[in-house]
């Protein structure tokens, strides 16, 4: 597979949670910190690839600022986003991973001037991720989920019931609110029936990368079902599951990129 990324291409890694970022930094023994726009950007190497890792912060505006700084200040050649999300579609369960093929802002509504969800002046509502890089990330995610105990340990697998986690591929919804009631998640499913998961940052990063013509990929571990039980054990899930998934999948993905032919 030919990838839209040269062998020397620099990758920006945006982590949604501090535990995820800490796990990433543990794989970058030569990392050093630079402060830009009130954020700490960590530069180093992973599988021989130069990477810049940063915490996204919460919400679309904060995530867009982070992505723009990665592009303008650090001149990354691609961005990958990891984090957690609430599952929406049937069968998208806690412990599964959603690989984004596109993003949409579920709270964008400039009607009647524009169609609901359409981003004004873009003529579109959905922003696609890079197909080739997403294919390799999906392969890495499935490799990790084939043996979740290797990444998490038997205790975490048993505690959260992660006996057969799956990778789903498709649309992720983003909005500036935490969807945490059955009524909200039900309304989203009715309005956007192909939405697999919901979170608060990805569509903004996808739009920034679209503007710059930069390859973007993203994956989200499902931490809850975006319903009335969404607050239960969230912190522990991130610590025990999501952060370990993220670093294991990124490790497998970067290893693939190290051996794949470049553009």
Residues 200, 172: Cα–Cα separation, whole Å: 10
pLDDT at position 47, please? Answer: 93
> What's the pLDDT tens digit per position in 225-240?
766 665 557 788 888 9
Q: Is residue 73 part of a domain?
A: no
pTM metric for this prediction: 0.94
Give me the residue label for tokens 């929406």.
88
Looking at the chain, the whole-number percentage of residues with pLDDT higher than 70 is 95
Q: Is residue 48 part of a domain?
A: no
More confident residue, 80 or 230: 80
What's the pLDDT band for 263 if we cut at 50, 70, 90?
very low
Total domains present in the chain: 1
Among 20, 31, 96, 130, the active-site one is: 20
19 is catalytic: no
Give me the residue label for tokens 């990838």.
3
Among 169, 199, 224, 251, the active-site one is: 224
* pLDDT exceeds cutoff 70 at 140: yes
Range of the domain at 152: 83-258
Q: Which residues contact 39 (CB under 8 A, 6 or more apart)?
A: 54, 55, 57, 65, 66, 69
> What's the pLDDT tens digit per position in 20-50?
899 999 999 899 999 999 999 999 999 999 9
Q: Would you say 148 and 240 are in contact if contact means Cβ atoms under 8 Å apart? A: no
Q: Is residue 6 part of a domain?
A: no
* pLDDT exceeds cutoff 60 at 262: no
Q: Is residue 49 part of a domain?
A: no
224 is catalytic: yes
* DSSP structure string for 186-242: HHHHHHSTTEEEEESSHHHHHHHHHHHT--EEEEEEEEE-SSTTTTTTHHHHIIIII
Residues 166, 73: Cα–Cα separation, whole Å: 36
Domain CATH number, residue 128? 3.40.50.1580
């Amino acid at each position: 597979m030919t990838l839209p990324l040269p062998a020397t291409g620099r990758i920006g890694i945006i982590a949604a949670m501090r535990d995820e970022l800490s796990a990433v930094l543990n794989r970058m023994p030569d990392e050093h910190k630079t402060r830009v726009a009130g954020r700490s950007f960590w530069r180093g190497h992973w599988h021989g690839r130069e990477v810049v890792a940063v915490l996204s912060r919460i919400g679309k505006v904060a995530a867009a600022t982070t992505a723009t700084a990665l592009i303008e200040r650090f001149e990354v050649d691609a961005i990958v986003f990891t984090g957690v999300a609430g599952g929406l579609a049937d069968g998208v369960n806690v412990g599964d991973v959603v690989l984004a093929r596109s993003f949409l802002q579920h709270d964008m509504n400039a009607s009647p001037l524009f169609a609901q969800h359409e981003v004004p002046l873009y003529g579109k509502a959905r922003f696609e991720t890079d197909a080739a890089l997403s294919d390799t990330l999906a392969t890495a995610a499935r490799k990790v989920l084939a043996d979740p105990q290797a990444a998490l340990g038997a205790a975490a697998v048993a505690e959260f019931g992660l006996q057969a986690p799956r990778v789903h591929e498709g649309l992720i919804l983003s909005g500036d609110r935490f969807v945490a009631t059955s009524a909200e998640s039900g309304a989203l499913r009715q309005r956007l029936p192909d939405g697999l998961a919901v979170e608060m940052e990805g569509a903004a990063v996808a739009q920034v990368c679209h503007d710059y013509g930069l390859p973007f990929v993203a994956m989200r571990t499902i931490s809850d079902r975006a319903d009335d039980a969404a607050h239960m054990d969230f912190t522990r899930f991130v610590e025990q599951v999501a952060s370990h998934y993220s670093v294991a999948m990124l490790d497998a993905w970067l290893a693939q990129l190290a051996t794949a032919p470049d553009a």
